[in-house]
Amino acid sequence: MTKIKDLPENERPREKLLDKGSKFLSDEELLAVILGKGTKKCDVLALAKKIVAIIDDRGLDLKIDDLLEIEGIGKAKTALIAAAFEFVRRRIKPEGLKIEKPEDVLPLVRHYADRRQEHFIVVSLNGANEVINVRVITKGLLNRTQVHPREVFAEAIADRAAAVILAHNHTSTNLTPSEDDIEVTRRLIEAGKILGIKVLDHLVFNEKGFKSIEV
């Protein structure tokens, strides 16, 4: 992975943010700005990548211990990240956000649009269509093997969710759902019926827009 010192000065996260604005930075770059520096063994961008992976997995359930388990993260950096995470969470408050239409979840997942791998995301909702949590279930090309109903609905069941909205990013500019996209969606809708958890929609998105998968 590219290290900070190997980047031209105007492409380093802090300088890039000040020059172009925060929206032009990836999640890893934004976190690198918050961290400030890495460790003797781990460059700040590599450290940020590890932390982003944990946050993707845990969603709003991120705990202090999740961060402390990462090599190179001490108590000081853990406290900094946890405080920043909670500060933003209190203001954005994704939990409790009412979803009137499926695309209302886009602000909660749009930051995955620039990822180099496909991220399959599940947004769990209560009976009033309010957001309970947002989680990345798997990474990589979508297929029946990777996106199994067991993984998709396990956390939704734990959340006591009444419904879910599925979403995944396309790494290309093409938003047309693939045959695997459609088959996975169909399979999850049927599994949801058995579990009593309605699949409201499955959105394919990239940096340009989104498309709802129709089955």
Tell me: do 140 and 79 sit in the same domain: no
Q: What is the pLDDT of residues 52-93, one digit of tens each?
A: 888 888 877 788 998 888 887 888 889 988 888 887 776 666
Residue 82: count of CB within 10 angstroms of its CB: 16
Say if CB 184 and CB 143 are below 8 A apart: yes
Tell me: do 189 and 143 sit in the same domain: yes
Tell me: do 75 and 106 sit in the same domain: no
Residue 168 included in any domain: yes
The β-bridge relationship of strands 198-205 and 163-169 is parallel
Please list the helix, strand and coil fractions of the chain in percent, rounded to the nearest 5, in that order: 50, 15, 35
Q: Which pLDDT score, from 0 to 100, does residue 93 have?
A: 64
Tell me: do 106 and 88 sit in the same domain: no
CATH number of the domain bearing residue 140: 3.40.140.10
Of 49 and 94, the one with more pLDDT:
49
Domain count, the chain: 2
Q: Which pLDDT score, from 0 to 100, does residue 144 have?
A: 53
Instruction: Give the side-chain half-sphere CA count within 13 A for 47.
Output: 25
Q: By CB neighbour count within 10 A (0-12 exposed, 13-18 middle, 19+ buried), where does 200 fall? A: buried
Residue 97 included in any domain: no
Tell me: do 110 and 82 sit in the same domain: no
Q: Where are the extended beta strands (E) located within 92-207? A: 119-125, 131-139, 163-169, 198-205
Q: What mean pLDDT value characterizes the chain?
A: 87
Residue 6 scores a pLDDT above 60: yes
Q: What is the pLDDT of residues 161-180, one digit of tens each?
A: 999 999 999 988 899 998 98
Tell me: do 41 and 68 sit in the same domain: yes
Q: What is the pLDDT of residues 100-157, one digit of tens each?
A: 988 899 988 988 888 888 999 999 999 999 999 999 998 876 665 578 899 899 989 9
Partnered with residue 168 across adjacent β-strands are 120, 204
User: 49, 71, 92: which is the final residue of a domain?
Assistant: 92
Q: What's the Cα-to-Cα distance from 54 to each of 2, 68, 144, rounded to whole Å?
A: 20, 11, 24
Taking alpha carbons only, the member of 113, 85, 108 closest to residue 98 is 108
Determine the structural domain holding residue 182 and report its residue range: 102-212
Tell me: do 122 and 29 sit in the same domain: no
